[in-house]
Amino acid sequence: MPSFMAIVAPGLENISAKELKFYSKSLKTFGFEYNNINTIKGGVEFESSFEHGLLSNHFLKTPVRILYRWGQFQEVLRTNDIEKAFESLDWFELLKGFKPEFHVSSFKSKMFHLQKLKQACEMSYRRVKIKQNIEVVKNRTTQKVYVRLSKNKMTVSLDTTGELLYKRGQNKAVNEAPLRENIASSLLWWLSLQVNKSFNLLDPMCGSGTFLIESQNLYKTHTQRKFQYQLWSTDTRELKLPELDIKPLIQNAYGIEVNPNTFKTLSTNTKDFKNIELLQADCTQVSKTDLNLSDSLPLIVLTNPPYEKRLHLKQTLSQTLEAINSNFQPEALFYIYPIDQHRNKKPSLTFRSGGLNLGLFKYT
Ligand SMILES: C[S@@+](CC[C@H](N)C(=O)[O-])C[C@H]1O[C@@H](n2cnc3c(N)ncnc32)[C@H](O)[C@@H]1O
């Protein structure tokens, strides 16, 4: 069976594996199956039909890229071995008219010098191009080809995604310190699995609204953007997506933002979502009634307070959290914070984002 690899933020691999298992189950009636789902550092490997692997780009929200494992080769020790391996791949069939861009990595292998390894890939491709009589087209589109050597075993993978998956194609404007969409989705997936019943979400320091928007799009298919695989050939361009009809656990999403300029951006970003409610205010000074919050469902707070030097809170973090907790009385309050600035607390989850080691903490 063809094999794929979802690239994921380190620390969030198990969540992406659960997301994949969820779709494997939900889409079974459409003949989809994702098997042998296995986490490795920074990724989730899985097997599926070629088409269903490519289509996973449209509904997975937690990875940043989906790679198709095109070929695996043992005992790759020198340039000649790379050339032999490349010769066995059908570049003409799949990548007609593309310009490969090689990305290489090496781990415990004889060929460890990355620049030389990249040159070896480029030279091998040039030779194979002549042998396979691959036509050279002007203005070719770039295709990322990932060559990974591990203990002399070489994996050649193709990027199926193109622009990274956290680009949802929705023209969202951002303000300071926005959270990447794939991280926000991962935390929302984690939260949904923990809560395991319908709930309302509140982000009391919501910035440009990433948590709010992702909460409403968690099970929706990406239809507003194109993916790299759709450029490959007519066969892949015309793959049909099933209509997903999954009832979301997160019903309404409420957002509070104090900065007037950020609030303007937030209002524009969320204007098409009927289940998102906003309030421009200092979250420590308002309560449930100001937000018109219904009591019919449990309320869970998930937020990303300012933690960088240039952005700061008016009160201390613990005063702010205490005020949110007493003003809104949520069933649970979770917040993101850098681990090294919060050593006395044990995080529920740890992950890397924007070059920082972050934790998801529960307010108690
Ligand atoms: C790190 S940013 C949140 C980014 C957001 N997760 C996103 O993806 O855009 C923190 C936000 O909290 C807002 N903020 C800070 N203190 C606040 C308060 N007391 N009440 C409401 N908003 C506040 C800031 O203006 C800023 O937009």
Q: How confident is the model at residue 76 (pLDDT cuts 50, 70, 90)?
A: very high
The response to whether residue 256 sits with its C-beta less than 6 Å from ligand 1 reads yes
Beta bridge partners of 363: none
How confident is the model over 59-76, as a mean pLDDT? 96
Q: Say if residue 236's pLDDT is above 80.
A: no
Question: Which residue puts its alpha carbon closest to atom 27 of ligand 1?
Answer: 207
- Ordered domains of the chain (ranges, CATH): 3-159 (3.30.2130.30), 181-220+247-362 (3.40.50.150)
How confident is the model over 203-220, as a mean pLDDT? 95
Span 124-179, pLDDT tens digits: 999 988 887 777 666 678 999 999 999 999 999 999 999 998 887 776 777 777 88
- Using most ligand atoms within 8 A of CB, pick from 213, 254, 258, 337 the residue to mutate for ligand 1: 258
Q: How far is CA 188 from the centre of its chain?
A: 12
Q: How far is ligand 1, taken at its centre, from the CA of residue 188, in Å?
A: 18
Q: Say if residue 301's pLDDT is above 60.
A: yes
**Token representation of residue 47:** 């097997």
Q: How far is ligand 1, taken at its centre, from the CA of residue 197, in Å?
A: 27
Question: What confidence score (pLDDT) does residue 311 get?
Answer: 59
Question: What confidence score (pLDDT) does residue 295 get?
Answer: 82
pTM: 0.92
Using an 8 Å Cβ cutoff, are 143 and 228 in contact?
A: yes
Helix (H, G, I), strand (E, B) or coil at 95: helix
Using an 8 Å Cβ cutoff, are 59 and 244 in contact?
A: yes
Cα–Cα nearest to 36, from 46, 21, 27: 46
b/e map of 42-73 (b: 16 or more CB within 10 Å)?
bbbbbbbebbbbbbbbbbbbbbbbbbbbbeeb
Give the number of the atom of ligand 1 that is nearest the alpha carbon of residue 208.
Answer: 9
Round the average pLDDT of the chain to a whole number and report it.
91
Helices H / strands E in the chain, number of each: 11, 14
Give the number of the atom of ligand 1 that is nearest the alpha carbon of residue 305.
Answer: 10
How confident is the model over 179-185, as a mean pLDDT? 94
The response to whether residue 207 sits with its C-beta less than 6 Å from ligand 1 reads yes
Q: Say if residue 234's pLDDT is above 70.
A: no
Q: How far is CA 351 from the centre of its chain?
A: 13
Residues 6+ away with beta carbon under 8 Å from 8? 15, 16, 42, 43, 44, 62, 63, 64, 182, 186
b/e map of 213-225 (b: 16 or more CB within 10 Å)?
bbbbbbbeebeeb
Give the number of the atom of ligand 1 that is nearest the alpha carbon of residue 259.
Answer: 25
Q: How far is ligand 1, taken at its centre, from the CA of residue 206, in Å?
A: 5
